[in-house]
Amino acid sequence: MDVKDTFMKLYIKKNRITSIVKLFSIFLLFLLTQCLYLDSVDYEPTVKAGEVATFTMNIRVEPAENSSDVRLVIGYLVPKSWNAANNTEVTYTSNIDEGTKKMSLIPEDNLPRNGNGLTWKDGLKNKYGFGPNVLDDMEWIVYWSDQVYSVTNGEKLTAAVSLKTKTGSDNLRAKLGFFLNHTNDGLSSSTDHSKIMYTDCFEVIEGEGSVIDFCELHYNSAQPINATKDDILTIKFQGDIGENILDNADEVYFCGTAYTDNGNSYTVCGPEPKAQMRKENEFGHTYSLTFWPVGFFGIPDDEAIIRIDYSFLNEDGSLELQQTADDGSESPFLYEFICK
């Protein structure tokens, strides 16, 4: 055996060892970073308006390294109209605590370690938006455990976090979001240290007004959900969700009547330039119109708008799309001016 052969054998052996070390390192890293789990969120699928809805997050924490001064963090995506920050109680029980422990809203001046300077709630909004919901009148609310923990490598912790929220008075359907993280991670990009889960379509029933549906697209949508006549409204015609009579329309117009508190009504009904809806993109069939109701309808200062009835027209007004009830009858879409 010459020197060259010996060198080659050593070289190949070294390479094998390097590969094994690399594989082991990846495996070890995998083990080390798997530490936070959101196994399920338990809840009743409906609640009556104004009553308390309870959600339970079932959590496992399996730290793979020692950590100290760490708090558990929970994010909660809910409709704004619930004013949940003032109407929610968050508690938890765990296998390392005695009795029930409390969680509190994270102070605005405490920024997540990896949140790029954003607050916790803005960081979550930036990262996850409003999840699978189709309307944006939702907000993230973020809590942390009052208690600060030290955890050790190899521990197996379980916890059940209970969120009890007094729901608002609106009838609505929404997919609520539940986020799990800890302060030592602070919204990093690692999914090993954070988990997110959304409910199916959760419903608030027997409340006020027509159902606000965050879960599914309809031919119409209107935002913001809560408004007065001095807000700016955006009304959409979402023609892409199914076949409809305006499929072949080159232009779509808004036709609406505003009803005020003193019994007057004011109508703007296309086709006229200010009622023409803006096509959102070249290939789709979604149109929107954004306007200040007072200026748009010409409402006098001393009148407040109660509601707007509206429909969508083609360019010559010969086709009108309204909402269709289960019995086949048609009626205008409705936007109610509610401010809570």
User: For other proteins, which residue of 132, 291, 303, 336 counts as binding (CB under 8 A)?
Assistant: 291
Q: Is 81 in the site for other proteins (CB under 8 A)?
A: yes
Q: How far is the CB of 78 from other proteins (least distance, A)?
A: 13
Q: How far is CA 136 from CA 42, 131, 175, 197, 310, in A?
A: 24, 10, 12, 18, 21
Q: How far is the CB of 230 from other proteins (least distance, A)?
A: 4
User: For other proteins, which residue of 224, 271, 276, 279 counts as binding (CB under 8 A)?
Assistant: 224
Q: Is 110 in the site for other proteins (CB under 8 A)?
A: no
User: For other proteins, which residue of 9, 22, 102, 340 counts as binding (CB under 8 A)?
Assistant: 340
Three-state secondary structure call for residue 274: helix
- Cα–Cα distance for residue pair 112/104, rounded to 1 Å: 15
Chain centroid to Cα 114, Å, comes to 21
- Cα–Cα distance for residue pair 214/221, rounded to 1 Å: 10
Q: Quick one: 155 or 231, whose CB is closer to other proteins?
A: 231
- Cα–Cα distance for residue pair 48/208, rounded to 1 Å: 11
Burial classification of residue 41, based on how many CB atoms lie within 10 Å of its CB (0-12 exposed, 13-18 middle, 19 or more buried): middle
Q: Is 231 in the site for other proteins (CB under 8 A)?
A: yes
Burial classification of residue 7, based on how many CB atoms lie within 10 Å of its CB (0-12 exposed, 13-18 middle, 19 or more buried): exposed
Q: Is 275 in the site for other proteins (CB under 8 A)?
A: no
Q: How far is CA 267 from CA 16, 163, 230, 299, 317, in A?
A: 80, 45, 18, 10, 15
Q: How many residues bind other proteins (CB under 8 A)?
A: 22
Three-state secondary structure call for residue 21: helix
Q: How far is the CB of 241 from other proteins (least distance, A)?
A: 21
- Cα–Cα distance for residue pair 204/167, rounded to 1 Å: 8
User: For other proteins, which residue of 80, 164, 195, 279 counts as binding (CB under 8 A)?
Assistant: 80
User: For other proteins, which residue of 194, 226, 238, 286 counts as binding (CB under 8 A)?
Assistant: 226
- Cα–Cα distance for residue pair 193/113, rounded to 1 Å: 13
Q: How far is the CB of 13 from other proteins (least distance, A)?
A: 46
Residue type, 217: L
Q: How far is the CB of 102 from other proteins (least distance, A)?
A: 27
Q: Which of 48-56, 96-104, 247-255, 290-298 is the region at the interface with other proteins (rule: CB under 8 A)? A: 290-298
Q: Quick one: 231 or 240, whose CB is closer to other proteins?
A: 231
Q: How far is the CB of 292 from other proteins (least distance, A)?
A: 6
User: For other proteins, which residue of 292, 298, 316, 324 counts as binding (CB under 8 A)?
Assistant: 292
Q: Is 116 in the site for other proteins (CB under 8 A)?
A: no
User: How is residue 300 written in tokens?
Assistant: 């006098």
**Contacts (Cβ under 8 Å, ≥6 apart) of 272:** 253
User: For other proteins, which residue of 125, 173, 175, 182 counts as binding (CB under 8 A)?
Assistant: 125
Q: Which of 101-109, 110-118, 142-150, 228-236 is the region at the interface with other proteins (rule: CB under 8 A)? A: 228-236
Q: Is 278 in the site for other proteins (CB under 8 A)?
A: yes
**Contacts (Cβ under 8 Å, ≥6 apart) of 12:** none
Q: Is 228 in the site for other proteins (CB under 8 A)?
A: yes
Which residues contribute to the site for other proteins (CB under 8 A)? 80-81, 125, 136-137, 224, 226-232, 234, 278, 288, 290-292, 295, 339-340
